[in-house]
Amino acid sequence: MSKRASLKSKKALIVLPYLKNGDGTAVAIMNYYQSLIDDGWHVDFMHLKSNACQWLNEVRENNGNVFELPQANKYTPAVQNRIENVISQGNYDLVHVNMPGHIGYSTLRLARKKGIAVRIFHAHNPKNILNTKTKMSTWLYDYLIQKEATDLIACSKSAGESRFGSKDFRVMRNVIDTDRFQYRSDARNCIRSGLNITNKVVVGVVGRFAAQKNPGFLVHCFAEYVKIESRAFLLWVGDGELKQRVEQELHRLSLDDRYYFAGRKAEVEDWYAAMDLFFLPSVFEGMGIVFLEAQCTGLPCLGSNHVPVETEVTELMHRLDLNLPEKVWALEMKKITDHAEAEVRQSRANDFIASGYSHEATKDDLKNYYNHLF
C-alpha cells in the first residue's frame, strides 16, 4: 500500500497523451494547472512523448516530473513496467487519467493495487465510432476503466453520456483564454499578405490530419465550394498521419494552387484571424475547443452534428448532418461566408465570459474537485 502524503504535500499524477501546445487534452488540463500549484498540489505528468514547450518548462520549474512512456502505441511489458514504477515511487494521493485504452486501464488498475484511493478517469471524447475495431476496443476498455476508476469526469454532457451511460460523472468544461483569443486585424493582414491570399475567401482548419477530423469529406466539401466560390482557399494549421493522403487527394482534384498547410503553430490565434470560415466536419468531438477559440476571435464556424451542442456559445457556430451530401455543405459554406463578408468582424470574448466559458471563471474547478475528493 502506498503511504499517504500529508495534507501539506498533496500529490497528483496526471496522465495525458501529450504535454504540448496544440494538444486539446493538454490545453484543457493546463487551464487548471496554476491553480493547483497555488493551492499546494505537487503535480507530475505521464505522457507518450516529450516535446519542447512552455508547459514542460513550467512543470519542471514547479519541481514536477514529466514521465515518458516507451512504445506506448500498443501494450508491451515495458509500458506496464514504466507505469508501475512511476506509481510505486511517486507516493501519490490521486491519479487523474486523461487517456482511454490500455494505458488508462493499466494506470488505474495499478493505482488501485498500490492503494491510491482517488482514481479519476476524464473523458475528452465520446466513444470512438470510426470502425468496428475501434468500437469494440472502446467498449472493452471503457468497461474495464470504469471498474477501476473511483470518479468520472467528462468535458461535455454529451461526451459523458456517450462514454459513461447512466453512471454519475462531473462535467468539467473545456474553456479558453478570452484575452488570448481576440481578433487582431494586424495578424490577419500579415499572414494573408505573406501567403499572397489577401483577396481570397479562406476556409480554415485547425486540427490533426486524422480520421476523427474527417479529412476526406472535408476536402470533397471544399472542392464543391470551389465550384461556387472562385476565391476559395484552404488553410490548414496542424499535422498528422493523414497529411500526405490529403495532399494527394487535393492534387487529384486539381486543387494544388488552392491550399496551404502551415504545420503546427504556437500562436494559433493569429491564424484564426487570417481565416474567413472555420470548417471541421468531425466524425466525433468531446467538446471541440477549437470551435470555441475560433468563435472568440469572431470567426464563423461550421462543424458536424457530432460536435456537441455546447459549442454554440454564439450565433457564429453552425452544425450540419454528416449524412448530407458535399454539395449541401458547400452551399452552407457559401451562405456563411457571404454573410460574414457583409459584417464587421470583432472579438466575441464578452459572449464567452457571460456564458462561463472563460479561463477566469473556471480556473479553480479542478483544484476544488481534487480537494473535495482528497
210 within domain boundaries: yes
Question: Residue 5 pLDDT more than 90?
Answer: no
Do 52 and 194 belong together in one domain?
A: no
Please give the span between the terminal C-alpha atoms of the chain, in angstroms, as a whole number.
17
- Long-range contacts at 245-253 (CB < 8 A, ≥ 24 apart): 245/209, 245/215, 246/209, 246/215, 246/216, 246/219, 249/216, 249/219, 250/219, 253/219, 253/220, 253/223
Q: How many domains does the chain have?
A: 2
Residues 76 and 203 in one domain: no
Residue 219 shares a structural domain with residue 165: no
Single-letter amino acid code for the residue at 165: G
Q: Do both 284 and 350 map to the same domain?
A: yes
C-alpha distances out from residue 172 to 102, 107, 156, 310, 363, Å: 23, 21, 7, 12, 11
Q: Does residue 196 sit in the same domain as residue 304? A: yes
Residue 43 has pLDDT above 80, yes or no: yes
Q: What is the predicted pLDDT for the residue at 139? A: 84
Count Cβ neighbours within 10 Å for each residue of 122-154 and write b for 16 or more, e otherwise.
bbbbbebeeeeeeeeebeebbebbbebbbbbbb
Is 87 among the domain residues? yes
The verdict on 139 and 26 lying in the same domain is yes
**2 within some domain:** no
- 53 in the same domain as 158: yes
CATH number (domain holding residue 257): 3.40.50.2000
Report d(CA 340, CA 150) in Å as an integer.
47
- In terms of domains, do 155 and 216 share one? no
Domain for residue 1, yes or no? no
Which domain covers residue 277, as residue numbers?
185-354
Q: What number of other Cβ atoms are within 10 A of residue 339's Cβ?
A: 10
**Is 163 part of a structural domain of the chain?**
yes
Confidence of residue 133 (pLDDT cuts 50, 70, 90): confident
What is the rounded distance in angstroms from the CA atom of residue 15 to the CA atom of residue 72?
12
Task: Find the radius of gyration of the CA atoms of the chain.
Answer: 21
pTM assigned to the model? 0.82
Same domain, 81 and 222: no
Residue 255 included in any domain: yes
Is residue 180 situated within a structural domain?
no
Are residues 129 and 37 both part of a single domain? yes
pLDDT at 190 over 80: yes
User: Is residue 243 in a domain?
Assistant: yes
CA 2 to chain CA mean position, Å = 33
pLDDT band at 20 (very low <50, low <70, confident <90, very high): confident
Residues 171 and 310 in one domain: no
68, 27: one domain: yes
Convert the pLDDT of each residue in 221-277 to its tens digit.
Answer: 999 999 999 999 999 999 999 999 999 999 999 999 999 999 989 899 999 999 999
